[in-house]
Amino acid sequence: MPVKRALLVAEKPSVAKGIANLLSPGTRSTAGAAQYNRIFELKYRINNEDYDVQCTSVSGHFKELDFVQSHRKWHSCHPRELFQAPITSMVKEEFSDLQKQLRQLARRAQLLIVATDNDREGESIGYEIIDECRAVNSRIQVKRMKFTSLTAHQIRQALDRLVEPNKHEADACDARSEIDLRVGAAFTRFQTLRLQQMYQALADDVVSYGGCQFPTLGFVVDRYRQREDHVAEDFWKLAVRHEVQGEGAVDFQWERYRLFDGNVTQLLLDRCLSGPSPRATVTSVTAADRQRWRPAGLNTTELQMIASRKFRMDPQRCLNVAEKLYNRQILSYPRTENDTYKADMPLAELVQHQTVDPRWGAFATNIVTEGPNPQKGKSDTTDHDPIHPLKHAAPGEMDPDEQKVYEIVVRLHPYHLRSRHSKVSDGCRSAHSWRACLAMPKAMSARSLLKSLVSVSTQRVCKLLTADFLRSTLTQHGMPRPFRSCKRASNSIQSTLQ
């Protein structure tokens, strides 16, 4: 009995290569009609049957939507007709060789396995593949393999649990593409033709419209106007810092925060420093425990925010670097909004890879020993897992930007897997903080302060000595509003302040 043939098609060449090497290490590739989409041949057992598998790929979407020929030219119809005009799906000209390769491979295959990304976009690309293969082989059986990272465990598990393609998800993605085409084309033609009649300078330009670009442009314009309308104004504030040699320091903030009059602020400072030996008095110290929840799984937005805040790396650069690490099978798929791990993920195995690193190996070993206990997040989607490391990578294996992104993922990954037996088993950790209320000297009386203010400017007195100012500054024996600490103090500093 002849061995059956299976055609496995991934979404990009690097994924096809990764799948082939995981299923059959050392698999060689051959060239087909598509120069950049190599073909890997291997043997594998699927559903208890032996198959000769040909593994290849596409390069994302290779088809596009467009209006039929009668509506493609700008003056062929009124822009409003584009909302109802017929559209068609066609292979992009630059992917004609890829179309030829898919059809050649599908003719002799009994089974087609779609191995695109596990999301709506991947489902839509999958149906582009299915349509081309069925065009030359209507009897080919079609299955979908779903995986979220290029690991041997996930790839083999996905092949053991093949499912049916989801036409509803593909239709949802295609509907969005159709809406973008109709709205973008209609409004772009309308406003371009209209503005070209009004402004000669736009005679050769296109004024495009997009459902995403216009709201984004609105954000930019609003921010620009805020910056242009802002009027800078000088202000002054008083600050107190208490230092203990060899122990540390604690900063106090003025409860009033700031004043917009330098002369008044200087008078208040002179008042605090008046007298032969001015000293501040700690009127109260309160201690409190704070709890911080350990982070949930890492999604794309959080990764980009951390990279921007810690390394000044722009979001697109961060995502490009993460995708490079994904293609090298170092990180999981980086485009995900999920922050909750699936129950069947081999988390202990993933953390075990990090135990050899001198920077965080001891921490990872502790998690492996006691058992991972992932923190549940707010989003639990079924497409991709949170971003996590797939293996250990030494610094010498990556460029500087890759090291930064990799370290963000690795350092966060074990932290939110802290063991159920650790001190943060309830999902949070505690921290102690102290808040001290500090009163400054009151050597200058309220009457003296009032006389000083009058000597500065009668008009400013009328403006500044409002009821609130009098109540907060001239009452309570002429005391200014107290300073309050905003930074955590150590035990030694606390005892010193008391």
Distance CA 28, CA 444 (A): 88
Distance CA 480, CA 188 (A): 62
- Check: CB of residue 191 under 8 Å from CB of residue 156: no
Strand order in 483-485's β-sheet? 239-244, 248-254, 483-485, 428-439, 281-293
Helix or strand run (H / E) with residue 136 = helix 120-136
Maximum Cα–Cα distance across the chain: 109
Active site residue 333: yes
Distance CA 389, CA 406 (A): 8
- Tell me which residue has tokens 């995981």: 22
Distance CA 463, CA 287 (A): 39
* Bridge partners (DSSP) listed for residue 60: none
Residue among 51, 333, 341, 406 flagged as catalytic: 333
CA distances from 147 to 15, 73, 163, 348 (A): 11, 43, 12, 19
Distance CA 302, CA 387 (A): 10
Residue 66: helix, strand or coil by DSSP?
A: strand
DSSP letters along 260-316, please?
Answer: S-HHHHHHHHHHHH-SSS---EEEEEEEEEEEEEPP--B-HHHHHHHHHHHH---HH
- Check: CB of residue 264 under 8 Å from CB of residue 459: no
Beta strands in 11-58 (DSSP E): 29-30, 39-46, 49-57
- Check: CB of residue 16 under 8 Å from CB of residue 41: no
- Check: CB of residue 485 under 8 Å from CB of residue 251: yes
Which pairing describes strands 111-115 and 4-10: parallel, antiparallel, or unpaired? parallel
φ, ψ at 52 (rounded to 5°): -90, 115
Dihedral sign of CA atoms 155, 45, 48, 14 in order: positive
Q: Looking at residue 438, what DSSP letter applies?
A: E
Q: Which two tokens stand for residue 459?
A: 């008009």
- Check: CB of residue 378 under 8 Å from CB of residue 296: yes
Q: Supply the residues annotated as catalytic.
A: 333
